[in-house]
Chains A and B, each alone.
Chain A
C-alpha cells in the first residue's frame, strides 16, 4: 500500500518566502559592518596581452586608500581551479580575457575605490586574440596557457570519448547518412543579484566571508590555499542568494579570495560588490558548442551508427569544462538505441570569457543537436517526430552508449506519450505541415531527453544534513547543500517535517556555513533533493528513533505502536477508520490516539538526557568510468522528460512567438509540488531564452553587451502559458523516491521550439538562438568589419572597445 504523506507531495509554503515578501531577507549586498572598506578590482585592458609593468604609486597616495595590491602580495597559491589549477586570482604575467583582475584596491568609500582604479597604470604588450575555438585548435595558433598539457590539438585541454561497437560497420549497414553541423551560443546566467561579499578578519588570524556564493566548500578550499590558511580558519557563510543557475562558483571564489586578502592586509572588513557591467564582464558563461553529427539510418527509421564531434569553447580558463564536457559525451546520443557509437568532445582555450557550470551543464547543447537530428531522421524516413522517438527510444533494460544497462523505471515513452497526448501533437503536427500559405504560420515541435542524476562518475558524491530539536519542540536544520532560490531548504524541510510528523512552522533552516556543516560537495547537478534530501531523511530518522524510544518509556507502549503525527506523539490503533465520537486529532482519519504533544515529547527527551540531534550522511550509489574505453556506469539513475512547443512564426520578419508549451517530467517523487512546478516553469522560460533570444556575443574577445538593455532575457510578455505535468515513478535511490528537476526542466525547450519552427516553415535553424535574422535569412547578422569612416587596425579596434567597457564598468 502506498504510504500517505502529510507534507511531502502536498502544497506547502516555502520556508524562506516570508522574509522575501517582506523585504527582510538579507542578500549579500545588504550586509554592512562598521568601519568597512570598499574593495574594487582593476581588470584587464586587453583580451590577450603580456603585462609589462604595473605602476600603483599614484593610486596608493590618494587619501582614503588603504591598500593597493597585485599578484606579488598573494601569500599562497596564485591560481585556482577545480581540475586544472591555472586561473589567476590576480594576473601576474599575462591576461587571457577582459575579465581578468590585475590590481586590487581598498578604500574608505566606494567613490574613492573607483577613483583609485583610474590612477593605476598598467603597461601591456598585446598578443594575438583567439576568439574562435576551431582556430585556436590549429597547430600554428599561439598558446593561451604555455604550460597546460594539450590533447591532440593546440589549446585543447579536454578530450572525452565514448566508443561502442563499430561505427564503420554501422555506416556500411545504413540506407542513408545524415550529416549536420550545429552551433550554440554563449549564455549569461543572468541571476538578478550581482555578486557581492563581505570579508572580515577573524579573531584567530583567519577570515570570515559572508556572500552570494553557490559552492561554499570549493570557494573555501581556494581561499585557504590562496592565503596559506587551514580550512578551519576560513569561514564562509552563504547569504540568501538571488539566483545562481550554476553561476556563482568560480567568479565568487575569485571575489572571496580578493576581499579576504584585502581584509587581512588592512585588518578591516572589506566589502566588494559587482555592478551589472562588472558582473557580465568577468563572470563565466554557458559553453558555446560546435557540433558535427553524422548518423547512419535504415529506411525503417532505425539508427545503425552515430558519430559525434563536439568542440566546446572553454574561454580563458579550464573552470568546469572537464566536467561539463563529460556530461556531454555521456549524453551526446540521447536516449536512443544504437549499437555503434563514436563520440569525441573537446574543450579549447580561447580569449573569451571562461565558460563553466550553467543549468544543464553540457546537456542543452547536445540535446539541441540530438533532437534536431531525430526530427531530420523522421523527415527522411517519412515518420512523425513522435513515432521516430517511440521507435528508437530506451525502455527498461536498454543499454546506453556508454554500455550502462538501465535497471530503473525508464519512463521515456511514458513522458513522450503524455506530452504528445496532452498537446494533441500528432494531429497538429500533421495539420501544420499542410497549412495554406500565410504570413503567419503555426508549428509544433517535440523534444525529449534522459539525464544522469547528480554528479555521476565525475567524483565523490556525498552530502550531510543536520537536524537539531530544541527543548520547546522547535527545530533547527542545516545542510551542506545550499539554497540559491531553487527551494533546497524547503524540500529538505518538507522531508524532515514528514519524518517527524511536525508542521513546517517549527523548522528554522540556517543558511549554509562552512564551519558548521560538513563539506557536502557543490550544490550542482540537480543533486540538492536527492543528496541533501536523503541526508535530511536520515538525520530526521535518527531523531525520530530517539523520540519514539523516549515516548515508549514515557507511556509504556512499544515504540512500534507509536508514531509522530501533526505535532503529536500518537498511539496507532490500526488503520481502520475512526468511529464517530472517538478522539482523533489526525485529519487522515487513521485511527490513533494522541499521547503527548511534540513539545512535551521534546522536553521529556531533554529531561532524560537523550541526544536531540541527528546527523544524516548520504553517499550516492557507485558509478564508474573508463576514460580510455569511454564506457562505464556513468550515473546511478536517470530522469526522463519531454517538451512540446507550439509557435507562431511571422514569415515576413522571422519573429517567433511561443504560444503554448507543455513540459512533462518524471521526477521520481515531487517532494514540494509547487517547487517542482516552479522549476519546470522557470526552466522552460530559460530554455525559451536559449532557443530564441539570448546570445552573449563577443567581437575579438570583447563582449558586446554588459547589461540587460542589450542582453535580453525573457520577460513576462515572452513566456507563454506552460502546462506542466509531473510524472512520479519513485526511484529507490532518492528520498521518498524523489530524483531531480532543476536542470532537466531547462534542457529541451530550445530543440522543441526549433523543431516547431521547422514544422511551421519547413526551414531548420542549425545555430542558436533562432532569432529574427536566423529564422528569416538563415544566418546571423554581424557587426564585424569596417565601421564608421576611419579604418582601424584590429588591435586599435579592440583597444578602443575595451576602454569603452572599462569606462562603463568603473564609472558606475
Chain B
C-alpha cells in the first residue's frame, strides 16, 4: 500500500465540527466525497475549470478540487448538503425548483453555492453580476437562462428585502 504521513485537523463542515485524520495530498473534494460521504459535491474536471465541486469556505466560493485538505484546518465549509436547514430549503433551492433551473443536476450544487456567495454579498444583484458570479460554473444543459432567472427570483425573495 502507498503509505503517507497523516495529519490531524479540525474543521467545520455544514455547521458540524470534525476532527479528521487526513493524508496531506488529499483535496477537500476527496475529504467530502470519500471520507465523509458528502457526495453532493461533484467531481467534474479536477482542475478547477468546471465548478461542479464549488463549496463555500468561510463564505467564499472555492473549487474543492483545488483546496488541499490541510488548508481547511479551522475553516468553515458549506456544501450543498448544508444549504437547507432541517426540512427548510434555502430560498435559492426553492427558486431553482420553481424556475426549472435544474436539468441533469450535475452543476446544480456548485451553481447554488456560487449564487449563495453572490447573494450574501449583494442581496439584489443586476443580471450581469449574476452571470459573472456563475461564469466559473459550467452547465451543458440549460443555457443558463433558467438558472439566472432562479437566482434573480431568490434575490427578490430574500427575507430582508421584505417590508
Residues of A within 8 A of B96 (CB): 17, 21
Q: Which residue of B lies closest to A485 (CB)?
A: B104
**Are A22 and B44 in contact, with the CB atoms below 8 A?**
no
Please pick, from A109, A275, A682, the residue contacting B141 in the complex, using a CB distance under 8 A: A682
CA A142 to CA B130, docked complex, whole Å: 54
A22/B99 in contact, CB under 8 A: no
Bound together, the chains give a CA A812 to CA B98 distance in angstroms of 38
Complex alpha-carbon distance, A598 and B144, angstroms: 39
Query: Within B1-59, which residues are at the interface with A (CB < 8 Å)?
Result: 1-2, 33, 38-47, 49-50, 52
Known: A23-B80, A23-B109, A192-B50. A682 touches B140 (CB 8 A): yes
What is the 8 Å Cβ interface bit string for chain A, positions 552-575, against chain B (1 contact, 0 not)? 000000000000000000000000
Given contacts A21-B97, A721-B145, contact A485 B139 (CB under 8 A): no
Q: Judge whether B131 is part of the interface by a CB distance below 8 angstroms.
A: yes
Q: Identify the closest chain A residue to B134 (Cβ).
A: A716
Distance between Cα atoms of A719 and B144 in the complex (Å): 8
In contact, A685 and B80 (Cβ under 8 angstroms) = no
Q: Which of A714-746 contact B (CB under 8 A)?
A: 714-717, 719, 721-722
Question: Given A22-B84, A194-B43, is A17 in contact with B97 using a C-beta cutoff of 8 Å?
Answer: yes
Pick the most buried of B38, B40, B136, B146: most chain A CB atoms within 10 A of its CB.
Answer: B40
Complex CA–CA separation, A243 to B99 (angstroms): 19
Q: Mark B119-163, 1 if CB is under 8 A from A, else 0.
A: 000000000001110111111111111111000000000000000
A690 CB, min distance to chain B CBs, angstroms = 12
Whether A151 sits at the interface, judged by CB under 8 Å, is no
Q: How far is the CA of A24 from the CA of B81 in the complex (A)?
A: 8
- Report B68-91 CB contacts with A as 1/0, cut-off 8 Å: 000000000001110110000100
Tell me whether B81 and A23 are in contact (CB under 8 A): yes
A753 located at the interface, meaning its Cβ lies under 8 Å from any Cβ of chain B in the complex: no
Which B residues are in CB contact (< 8 Å) with A17? 96-97, 100, 102, 105
Is A415 an interface residue when CB atoms closer than 8 A count as contact? no
**CB atoms of B39 and A64 under 8 A apart:** no
Chain B residues with CB under 8 Å of A714's CB are 143
Interface stretch of the complex, out of A69-77, A583-591, A670-678? A670-678
Collect the chain B residues with CB atoms within 8 Å of residue A487's CB: 103
Is A713's CB within 8 Å of the partner chain B? yes
Interface string of B94-122 (1 = CB under 8 A from A): 00111110111111110010000000000
The reply to whether B144 and A191 contact each other, CB–CB distance below 8 Å, is no
Tell me whether B135 and A717 are in contact (CB under 8 A): yes
Main secondary structure of the interface of B (DSSP, over half): loop
- A17-B97, A485-B103, A716-B148 in contact; A678/B1 too (CB < 8 A)? no
Taking a contact as CB atoms under 8 Å apart, the answer to whether B104 and A63 are in contact is: no
Q: Separation in Å of the B67 CB from the closest CB of chain A?
A: 17
- Closest B residue by C-beta to A711: B49
- Checking B39, B45, B80, B132 against A276 with a beta-carbon cut-off of 8 angstroms, the contacting residue is B45
Assuming the A-B contacts A30-B39, A191-B104, are A677 and B89 also in contact, with contact meaning beta carbons closer than 8 angstroms in the complex?
A: no
A27-B42 in contact (CB<8A): yes
Contact of A276 with B144 at beta-carbon distance under 8 Å, contacts A21-B108, A22-B80, A63-B1 already known: no
Chain B residues closer than 8 Å to A193, beta-carbon distance: 42, 44, 104, 106
Main DSSP-derived SS at the A contact region: loop
Nearest Cβ in chain A — how far from B100, in angstroms? 3
B103: chain A residues within 8 A (beta carbon): 243, 485-487, 678, 682
Complex-state Cα separation, A485 to B104, whole angstroms = 3
Of the candidates B134, B140, B147, which one forms a contact with A190 in the assembled complex, judged by CB atoms under 8 Å apart?
A: B140
Cβ of A109 and Cβ of B46 under 8 Å apart?
Answer: no
Expressed in whole angstroms, the Cα–Cα distance for A17 and B108 within the complex equals 10
Let me know if B143 and A685 touch, CB within 8 A. yes
Report the nearest A residue to B127, measured CB to CB.
Answer: A721
The reply to whether A192 and B135 form a contact with Cβ atoms under 8 Å apart is no
Is the C-beta of A686 less than 8 angstroms from some C-beta in chain B? Answer: yes
Query: Is A18 in contact with chain B by the CB < 8 A criterion?
Result: yes
| Contact assessment for B50 and A243 in the assembled complex, using a CB-CB cutoff below 8 Å | no
A708 on the interface (CB 8 Å rule)?
yes
Contact B145–A681 (Cβ < 8 Å): yes
A726 to B84, CA, bound (A): 35
Query: A485 — which chain B residues lie within 8 A by C-beta?
Result: 103-106, 141
- A58 CB-CB contact with B under 8 Å: no
B100: chain A residues at CB < 8 Å are 13-14, 17, 674-675, 677-678
Q: Is the CB of B135 within 8 A of A716?
A: yes
Closest beta carbon of chain B to A10's beta carbon, Å? 13
Taking A27-B42, A112-B2, A485-B103 as contacts, is the C-beta distance between A21 and B143 under 8 angstroms? no
Q: Specify which of A13, A243, A719 is in contact with B145 (CB 8 Å cutoff).
A: A719
Q: Name the contact of A812 in the complex, choosing from B33, B46, B107, B141 (C-beta under 8 A).
A: B46
Closest residue of chain A to B110, judged by CB?
Answer: A192
A262 CB within 8 Å of chain B: no
Name the distance in Å between A214's Cβ and chain B's nearest Cβ: 12
Asked if residues A719 and B50 are in contact (CB atoms below 8 Å), the reply is no
The residue in chain A whose Cβ has the minimal distance to the Cβ of B81 is A23
Residues of A contacting B137 in the complex (Cβ-Cβ under 8 angstroms): 716
Q: Which residue of B lies closest to A685 (CB)?
A: B143
Q: Is A26 an interface residue (CB 8 A)?
A: yes
> Given A683-B143, A722-B143: A192 and B80 within 8 A (CB)?
no
Report yes or no: B39 in contact with A21, Cβ–Cβ below 8 A.
no
Residues in A690-706 with C-beta less than 8 Å from chain B: none
0 or 1 for each of A187-219: is its CB under 8 Å from B? (1 = yes): 001111110000000000000000000000000
> Which of A21, A487, A722 has its CB near the most chain B CB atoms (within 10 A)?
A21
Is the pair A192, B52 in contact by a Cβ cutoff of 8 Å? yes
22 A/B residue pairs, CB under 8 Å, sorted by A: A17-B97, A17-B102, A17-B105, A20-B105, A21-B83, A21-B89, A21-B97, A25-B105, A27-B106, A190-B138, A191-B140, A192-B104, A276-B46, A677-B146, A678-B146, A682-B103, A708-B45, A716-B131, A716-B134, A716-B147, A717-B132, A722-B145
Closest 8 pairs (CB-CB, A-B): A23-B40, A485-B104, A20-B105, A242-B106, A681-B143, A685-B143, A674-B100, A23-B80
Given A23-B38, A30-B33, 16 other A-B contacts at CB below 8 A?
A13-B100, A20-B105, A23-B39, A115-B2, A192-B140, A243-B106, A677-B145, A678-B145, A685-B142, A707-B49, A716-B130, A716-B139, A716-B147, A716-B148, A717-B131, A721-B145
